[in-house]
Amino acid sequence: MRPSDFTSSRFGVLTTKALSSWPHAYFLPASLPRELTLESETVAAMSRADLALGRLSGLAMVIDNPALLLGPALAQEALASSRIEGTEASLSEVLSAENEEVPIENENLREVANYLRAIEQGTQLIKTWPLTMRFFCALHETLLTDVRGEEKSPGELRRSPVWIGSPSARPETARFIPPHQDDLGELLADWERFVNDPSSMPTVLRGALMHYQFETIHPFLDGNGRIGRLLIGFELMHDQVLSAPILHISGYFERHRNEYYDRLQAVRERGEIDEWIQFFSSAVEHQANESAGRIRTLLEIRERYRAQVRGDRSQVADLIDVLLENPVITVSAVVRALSVTQPTGSTLLRRAESLGWVRSAGRWGRGGKERWVASEIWNAVTLVSFDNPAIS
């Protein structure tokens, strides 16, 4: 870090640890502000984000089974957040892996699968647990088990310094050095109070500050970005703004990755909090509108498909919800989901093909099982037209 870059002490200062073996300066963040005076442009951006969240929340309340429409969208969120950290995988691979009954061999896919498990875990824990170190350490343990970074103490706060920069960066060349491990206890206690104490602060503002501070504290040796992004959705659930993790904000951060990192760093270096909050609010607004549009489209598809087979004596109507949960499917997945025989599962997929719901997408995975893709559902989830049988 270059001390000359840190021109504002509004949100923290560069310091060193006296009588320590760590000789490098690091950034010690200030306590999170409980009040902020913001520019009118920032206030307007937060208001738009709040309105978008309200529309999304209202839509979610009328869905008879919100979890039904979360599967592939959550997979996208897990994939986007993992890609920001360098994981290489495609959505079709992730959804195909969910159909497998054997352990996932590909480490990239295991990382995404762990992220999905952490979402499921957090969704249950947030019903009874506050947002504390205990909460996010539990998610961290799930995230880093049996994948790269497992040697970096899953579920435990770091006990040594870390630095952020290129893969080959050293402390001398790092762009950012988070606080010393000895400072974590006090910093995280303040973070917990900020997140859990009653506040009149707008939800979007609280989320922006919460995420900024978590990433700045960097409490783990690895996985900080993914956990920090998970916490955005769980704070919205904690504050009873959303009832399920249906805001998939990592897609926006992935598409604007450089700006995402630059805005966080600009708060530390130059105190540019308005710019960060505007960026965060734009992410919330865009992704809330996108999620709402996706849900509306999926509901329309579900009702149209049900109307198509009303009166059909086969179980093909039961296949609709299975396809909504995962539009990339195999015969074996149908057999498990509907408790039918292999021949019946195959017949149902052929019937769905005749109705235009699915098409073959070739073979994948161990044993080369044939995959089927519900193209219209795939298009609604990915917002990209399905035109390649390989669905890369």
Nearest to 36 by CA among 278, 261, 269: 278
Q: What are phi and psi of 148, to 5 degrees?
A: -55, 135
**Beta strand segments in the chain, E:** 12-15, 26-29, 328-329, 359-364, 369-373
373 DSSP β-pair partners: 328, 359
Coil, strand or helix: which one is 164? strand
Q: Is residue 249 within 8 Å of 229, Cβ to Cβ?
A: yes
- The CATH code belonging to domain 315-382 is 1.10.10.10
How far is residue 319's CA from residue 13's CA, in Å, rounded to a whole number?
57
Equal CATH topology for 3-293 and 315-382:
no
How far is residue 255's CA from residue 60's CA, in Å, rounded to a whole number?
25
For the annotated binding site for ATP, the residues are 85, 218, 222-229, 260-261
Q: Which fold has domain 3-293?
A: Fic-like fold (1.10.3290)
What is the predicted pLDDT for the residue at 390?
45
Residue 33 is classified by DSSP as P
Long-range CB contacts (< 8 A, 24+ apart) of 293-297? 294/69, 294/73, 294/380, 294/381, 294/383, 295/56, 295/59, 295/60, 295/63, 295/69, 295/246, 296/59, 297/380
14 DSSP β-pair partners: 27
Give, for all 392 residues of the chain, the pLDDT tens digit. 888 999 999 999 999 988 778 889 999 999 999 999 999 999 999 999 999 999 999 887 777 666 566 667 777 787 778 877 777 777 777 776 666 654 566 777 888 888 889 999 999 999 999 999 999 999 999 999 887 655 678 999 999 999 998 777 788 888 999 999 999 999 999 999 999 999 999 999 999 999 999 999 999 999 999 999 999 999 999 999 998 888 889 889 999 999 999 999 999 999 999 999 999 999 999 999 998 888 888 889 999 999 999 988 888 999 998 998 888 888 989 999 999 999 999 999 999 999 999 998 877 656 567 888 999 988 888 765 444 444 44
Side chain identity at 184, as an amino acid letter?
L
Structure tokens at 211: 């995420």
Catalytic residues: 218
Domain chopping of the chain, boundaries: 3-293, 315-382
Q: Which helix (H) or strand (E) holds 300?
A: helix 273-308
- How is the chain split among helix, strand and coil, in percent rounded to 5? 55, 5, 35
Residue 307, C-beta contacts closer than 8 angstroms, at least 6 positions apart:
none
Cα dihedral value 252, 255, 256, 257, nearest 10: 110
What is the predicted pLDDT for the residue at 20?
79
Coil, strand or helix: which one is 271? coil
